[in-house]
Amino acid sequence: MKIVKLSELKKNPNFKQIMKRSQQNYAPVSFVVKKIMAEVKLNGDEAVRKYTKKFDRVDIVNTKVSRQEIKEAYTKVSKEFLKALAQAIRNISLVQKNQMQSRALKIVRPVIGVRVWNKWQAIEKVGLYVPGGRAQYPSSVLMNGIPAKLAGCKNIAIATPPRSDGLVAPELLVAADKIGIVDIYKIGGAQAIAAFTYGTSSVTKVSKIVGPGNSYVAAAKLTGFVAGEISIDLPAGPSEVFIIADETVNPKFVAADLMADAEHGPDGAVVLITTSASLAQAVLLEIEKNIGRFSTQENIRNSINSFGLFALVETLDEAIVFANDYAPEHIQIMTKNASKVAKRITNAGSIFVGIYTCKSAGDYATGANHVLPTGGAAKMFGGLSVFDFMRLVECQSCDVNGLRKIKDTIETFASAENLPAHKYSCSVRFKGK
């Protein structure tokens, strides 16, 4: 890793790759995903079973996790895990409930006799995809499930790929059970998304699918969305951390957070922007000193080499402008007056303020959501929240006097837009009066 000057970044041959990060390319999987979706639409559970056999190498007849399996999961998880789960659930719930307070929308009376109001209404049926395979992410269950529950969704189902023994990791089952989700299906990949999108005999069709996944899952979600069958959450790509630091910070902290982000996979993006050349040097040394201790070191090295950037700036202003252009998933502000700097960050998924707000704190325990926009999508999307599980339903009511007060406006617009029956639908209410 070379430390460069940010002002000279555009000259860097790697500039485009650094800005774009690793982008999912659906072209290679698009054909097979469409085939799987079509087959599940046609043959339901039978097609699901076929693809589970093929991809997960296990034959499952009844994909729904039984009460007994959930009960047994409790005997397989540690006490520490149950304790950690309890604090995470509590904190995430507190943060998400706070968002709910903005639900109360009062009635507007633009003229006397006309009332317009909104109601937040939960999406009734949602599907949560939780990745499986080698990794297992009970925290994903919480981050997707708690806002869905608090929003008031009635049917919440989880799909997750079965392990080769035909079971699901007990931590996942316990996490789901603790937040009150009991419909859990041992189905993964595009076949899981297809089952949620179209419904099968055993899986209920949903209106929205959320949760991260590999390129098959992502391509299947997009296919269902384009077909108009489901809505989906923000696109989730490889993890990203962007640290703005000055000379006041302990380089150990910075190195640790960069490595934490980079260990998720070989294509994470890790950016350090600093006013201090000596800090940048010290961070590099710290990484080299410690990387060997992690089983995930290969991911860390690959991420840093492919999508890493260590750059120097003259002023924090320069760093802030670049951060808002880069629009990172996570941004950590480790400078003097960190709060002041944080206020000027407009494009980011989550802003971590101060040196003790380590990346993993936000991933698991502060209560903030860790489902966040990547690849620059923070310019257009926010992190997952209760609002992703609700819709704003509009309500309006006129009495005869109210309608009279807006009659001219209605009729003039209807004429301007050449819609005579629109004009008539207003005027007929005053005929013979």
Q: State the catalytic residue, choosing from 229, 240, 329, 370.
A: 329
Q: Whole-number minimum distance, CB 298 to a second copy, in Å?
A: 12
Which range of residues in 2-10, 59-67, 115-123, 185-193 is near a second copy by CB under 8 A? 115-123
The β-bridge relationship of strands 240-245 and 330-334 is parallel
> Residues near 421 by Cβ (< 8 Å), separated by ≥ 6?
none
- Give the span between the Cα atoms of 109 and 111, in whole angstroms: 5
Q: For 122-238, where are the alpha helices, taking DSSP H only?
A: 138-151, 170-178, 189-198, 215-226
Residue span 32-71 as binding mask against a second copy, x where in contact by CB under 8 A, dash where not: ----------------------------------------
Does 129 count as an annotated binding residue? yes
Closer residue to a second copy in complex, CB, 28/110:
110
Round to whole Å and give the CA distance between 270 and 279: 16
Closer residue to a second copy, CB minimum distance, 143 or 311? 143
Task: For residue 214, say whether it is annotated as part of any ligand binding site.
Answer: yes
Active site residue 264: no
Show contacts with a second copy in window 380-409 (CB under 8 A).
380-383, 385, 387, 390-400, 402-403, 406, 408-409
From the list 296, 301, 302, 318, which residue makes contact with a second copy (rule: CB under 8 A)? 296
Which residues in 186-286 belong to E strands, given as ranges?
208-210, 231-232, 240-245, 269-274
CB of 61 to a second copy, least distance (A): 29
Which region, judged by CB under 8 A, interacts with a second copy, from 41-49, 65-73, 272-280, 370-378? 370-378
H/E segment holding residue 119: strand 114-122
Pairing of strands 114-122, 390-398: antiparallel
Per-residue mark of binding to a second copy, 81-110 (x: CB under 8 A):
x-xx--xx-xx--xx--xx-xxxxxx-x-x
Contact with a second copy (CB under 8 A) among 68, 226, 292, 433:
226
Give yes or no for residue 433 binding a second copy (CB under 8 A).
Answer: no
Question: What is the distance between the alpha carbons of residues 245 and 255, in angstroms, rounded to a whole number?
Answer: 11
User: Which amino acid is it at 315?
Assistant: T
Query: Kind of pairing, strands 308-312 and 390-398?
Result: unpaired
Distances from the Cα of 352 to the Cα of 4, 178, 245, angstroms = 24, 28, 12
Among 66, 248, 337, 412, binds a second copy (CB under 8 A): 412
Q: How far is the CB of 103 from a second copy (least distance, A)?
A: 7
250 is in an annotated binding site: no
User: 164 to 223, contacts with a second copy by CB under 8 A?
Assistant: 171, 207-208, 222
Which residue, 421, 395, 311, 320, is CA-closest to 105?
395
Q: Is 283 in the site for a second copy (CB under 8 A)?
A: no
Which of residues 88 and 312 has its CB atom nearest to a second copy in the complex? 88
Enumerate residues 324-363 that contact a second copy by CB under 8 A: 338-339, 342, 345-363
Tokens at residue 173, please? Answer: 């089952």
As a whole number of angstroms, the distance between CA 42 and CA 406 comes to 51
Exposure pattern of 109-125 as b/e (b: 16+ CB <10 Å)? eeeebbbeebebebbeb
330 is catalytic: yes
Looking at beta carbons only, is 14 or 290 nearer to a second copy?
A: 290
Biggest distance spanned by C-alpha atoms of the chain:
89
Interface pick for a second copy out of 176, 236, 260, 273 (rule CB under 8 A): 260
Residue among 155, 229, 223 at smallest CA distance from 189: 223
**Closer to a second copy by Cβ: residue 30 or 202:** 30
Q: Residue count of the chain, please give it.
A: 433
Q: Which residues are annotated as a binding site?
A: 129, 191, 214
Q: Which residues are annotated as a binding site for NAD(+)?
A: 129, 191, 214
Active site residues: 329-330
